[in-house]
Amino acid sequence: MSDCLFCKIARGEIPCDKVYEDNDILAFRDIHPQTACHVLIIPKDHFPGLKELESASDALLAGLLRKAAAVAKSAGIDGSGYRLVSNCGRDACQSVQHLHFHLLGGQQLSDRMS
């Protein structure tokens, strides 16, 4: 989508601190990190969020989860643990309308998820 921020990052039109890229998936550091390690994992194709995945392939969705785990491993946080979150809609405070998973770790996280 031409005016989507994460589509622009995926196309290389806006710079990012990239940690992984392949034909379908990009992972880059969040510009406002909320934990010591805070990486965003996105599909390069545009899907607004978890509610709009009818046309997303199962292979892509599985790939996003597998890649998040691989990024956690390469960041060295798989042993200590991490959280994978996708905010969906207003109540969840989704601010960028392009599907993304937050990989959060590198420190002790709260036992509350709200």
Measured from the CB atom, the residue of 32 and 112 that comes closer to ligand DGP is: 32
User: Does residue 87 bind ligand DGP (CB under 6 A)?
Assistant: yes
Active site (catalytic) residues: 100
Stretch that binds ligand DGP, among 18-26, 60-68, 90-98, 103-111 (CB under 6 A): 90-98
User: Does residue 101 bind ligand DGP (CB under 6 A)?
Assistant: no
- Amino acid residing at 74: S
Sheet holding 25-29, edge to edge: 18-21, 25-29, 37-43, 101-105, 82-85
